[in-house]
Structure 1
């Protein structure tokens, strides 16, 4: 006589997490796709006003010229929105739109002159009253971050393509991963907040170097 063992039921919150893997990234993708598509469509059918910004673009975009930057922004928003909607190359698309949003904040939405954090905080608004207008693009950055780090979720072409490949065991975050993420974030926000971006970038480099140092040290001990 065979005895069948029944697997214990998972806690309810764990099962809700399973639903979240499908729906949570999808909501972010749909909303961001719509917003960036609207922005790209307005540029596609509108006049190029980037020339009015003068030299406000950060390097290396300040070297490209208004027409090139306008074309890049337009098609990045249009193509990127479609890629987000279907969940194709989600991490890379979100990273590209992150950089695009940082450039937009620097060139358009960031206060041109501020001497204190209280003045900078006044720019956290959707209506521009002379202190900047970076609230909405900052919200976009926060929404793009989980897509960059976690991908498009299970309701995406990325997941469908990945399911056909050999599964890779999930790994926990180590110093190298933390260092890479902090370095990338610090590097991109440095045009807006040089000190904060610089600190994050340096911390990222230290974490990556520390991991490499420990690896080399372990290799030397093993060969000794």
Structure 2
């Protein structure tokens, strides 16, 4: 299967071509960040001591029926295994769904306020640190990030896509080189605010790709002999 970027008619709407770039980059960004975060959480559990017993009866059913040691082992290996699956994009929907359930359980048992009587009090728990009202902000963000992977899959830069393309090729929205160049330039220019060298290199690569694409298009344009 060729990996070359196809030539796309200039009449194709710009954002349709951006969709083609998004099928590669958008799910990849979510997968990489979530894989890192959950792998770190699993590694900390693997190297740390079990504190699940301190939670008492805070686990929801059916996890409240399981011993703290088994809950700890399941959470540890699920975070480690599912993070690797997200990284390579293999079984992505299932890995994301499993981590979604794990995160909901974590919010219920650890991050949700133990006592609240109004939405205003509940909203105080939307925080990173726990000041007595819970701290469910970060795991809630993880849930929102996992949702597109559950519903939309791993994207084109994944083992899931490579396997599916071999079994049942499905045409998707594609982007030409000029669109890739514009997107890379936009991302690089933004990243350069925080990381000047990395962002600048990415932006320059985008400009070079865009310029090369335009030059190739001019060379490929039909020439008519003058009378």
Residue 118 (structure 1) shift = 0.3
**Aligned partner of residue 17 in structure 2, secondary structure:** helix
Cross-structure match for 1:34: 36
Residue 7 (structure 1) shift = 5.2
Residue 91, structure 1, aligned to residue 80, structure 2: no
Would you say how many aligned residue pairs link Structure 1 and Structure 2?
Answer: 165
What is the rounded CA distance, in whole Å, between the counterparts of 1:90 and 1:48 in structure 2?
28
Which deviations, in whole Å up to 9, do the C-alpha atoms of 1:70-119 show, x marking residues without a partner?
A: 00000000001000000000001000000000000000000001010000
RMSD: 1.5
Gapped runs of 5+ residues in structure 1? 1-5, 171-224
Cross-structure match for 2:183: none
Which deviations, in whole Å up to 9, do the C-alpha atoms of 1:9-44 show, x marking residues without a partner?
A: 311111111000000000000000000000000000
Residue 168 (structure 1) shift = 6.2
What is the rounded CA distance, in whole Å, between the counterparts of 1:44 and 1:72 in structure 2?
11
What is the rounded CA distance, in whole Å, between the counterparts of 1:51 and 1:112 in structure 2?
17
Cross-structure match for 1:202: none
What is the rounded CA distance, in whole Å, between the counterparts of 1:144 and 1:68 in structure 2?
25
Question: Which residue, out of 10, 14, 17, partners 2:16?
Answer: 14
- TM-score, length-normalised on structure 1? 0.71
What is the rounded CA distance, in whole Å, between the counterparts of 1:160 and 1:82 in structure 2?
17
Cross-structure match for 2:57: 55
Cross-structure match for 1:145: 147
Cross-structure match for 2:192: none
**Aligned partner of residue 164 in structure 1, secondary structure:** helix
Residue 67 (structure 1) shift = 0.4
What is the rounded CA distance, in whole Å, between the counterparts of 2:74 and 2:95 in structure 1?
14
Residue 167 (structure 1) shift = 3.9
What is the rounded CA distance, in whole Å, between the counterparts of 1:168 and 1:31 in structure 2?
27
1:86-165 equivalent positions in 2, closer than 5 A: 86-165=88-167
Q: Which one has the largest radius of gyration?
A: 2
What is the rounded CA distance, in whole Å, between the counterparts of 2:82 and 2:64 in structure 1?
22
Gapped runs of 5+ residues in structure 2? 1-7, 173-227
What is the rounded CA distance, in whole Å, between the counterparts of 1:104 and 1:43 in structure 2?
14
